[in-house]
């Protein structure tokens, strides 16, 4: 309780500092005058008594500083003084002010972006049934080995399900007279079933399907205008038609993507045993 009383007193001093200083000055004058009267009664003249009383009392400036230190939040007052000095300096030099504000904005923006990306990549939950149960496997560190090389895992029933995905693919999308280079991911037909990835519209890719695609929400809104009839639409990818069967949720995030919505679409992929 005493701690909070002290904090309250210090805050009160900050808000009414001029009043505290005025009361201190009155208190000092009272003590000096009282001692002066005592010395006069002892036989000293008025001027001598006043000088003697002031010598005995000591430096009023030192007393003022010691009294203030008992009530001040020194770090807060120093911060306020530094900010006021900086504001005066910036007002005198507008170019310096603009450079300082620009540097702060750039630094804050860069740090916010890095934090957001790191948060998405490291801490956000993946859009699947159970992210902690997913394992990424590669033989000898090579992610491009054919699916048939993993047959021993499927035959040993080491996992509940085994799927394949080729991430960070780049394909050409032909839209009328325009062409776009898009990022995508090819997956096996059981990918959505095993990983438990939801879709916001339509349905996921199913076993045995080929030439079908599930597109990202961002791709659907930015490139296809949020067409509500997008399911069933045909996309020409690398000169081959793919039918859109579903749209991913807005907040979709893959377990092994570096950034949310890294892939614009998923397309089916046939595998050979």
CA-CA-CA-CA torsion sign (5, 7, 12, 18): positive
CB 179 within 8 A of CB 172: yes
Tens digits of per-residue pLDDT, 10-42?
A: 676 666 777 777 877 888 888 888 888 888 888
pLDDT at 261: 33
Tens digits of per-residue pLDDT, 154-204?
A: 677 777 777 777 766 788 888 888 888 888 888 888 888 888 888 889 998
19 half-sphere exposure, CB direction, 13 A CA radius: 5
pLDDT at 273: 41
Segment (H or E) for 72: none
Other CB atoms closer than 10 Å to residue 68's CB: what's the count?
16
CA angle 142, 147, 149 (to 5 degrees): 70
pLDDT at 202: 92
Residue 58 tokens, joined: 């000591």
- What whole-number percentage of the chain has pLDDT above 70? 71
0.85 surpassed by pTM: no
pLDDT at 50: 84
pLDDT at 229: 92
């Amino acid at each position: 309780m005493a701690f909070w009383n002290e904090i309250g007193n210090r805050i009160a001093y900050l808000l009414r500092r001029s009043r505290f200083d005025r009361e201190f000055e009155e208190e000092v004058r009272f003590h000096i005058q009282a001692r002066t009267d005592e010395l006069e009664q002892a036989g000293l003249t008025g001027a001598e008594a006043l000088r003697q009383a002031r010598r005995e009392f000591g430096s009023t400036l030192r007393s003022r500083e010691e009294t203030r230190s008992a009530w001040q939040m020194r770090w807060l007052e120093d911060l306020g003084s530094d900010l006021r000095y900086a504001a005066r300096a910036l007002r005198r030099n507008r170019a310096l002010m603009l450079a300082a504000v620009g540097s702060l904005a750039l630094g804050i923006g860069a740090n916010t972006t890095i934090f957001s990306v790191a948060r998405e990549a490291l801490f956000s939950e993946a859009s699947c049934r159970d992210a902690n149960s997913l394992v990424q496997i590669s033989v000898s560190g090579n992610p491009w080995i054919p699916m048939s090389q993993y047959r021993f895992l499927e035959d040993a029933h080491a996992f509940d399900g085994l799927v394949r995905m080729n991430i960070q693919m780049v394909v050409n999308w032909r839209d009328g007279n325009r062409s776009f280079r898009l990022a995508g991911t090819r997956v096996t037909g059981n990918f959505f079933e095993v990983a438990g990835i939801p879709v916001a519209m339509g349905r996921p890719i199913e076993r045995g399907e080929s030439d079908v695609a599930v597109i990202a929400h961002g791709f659907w809104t930015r490139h296809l205008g949020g067409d509500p009839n997008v399911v069933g639409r045909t996309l020409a990818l690398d000169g081959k038609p793919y039918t859109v069967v579903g749209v991913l949720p807005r907040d979709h995030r893959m377990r092994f993507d570096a950034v949310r919505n890294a892939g614009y679409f998923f397309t089916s992929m046939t595998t050979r045993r």
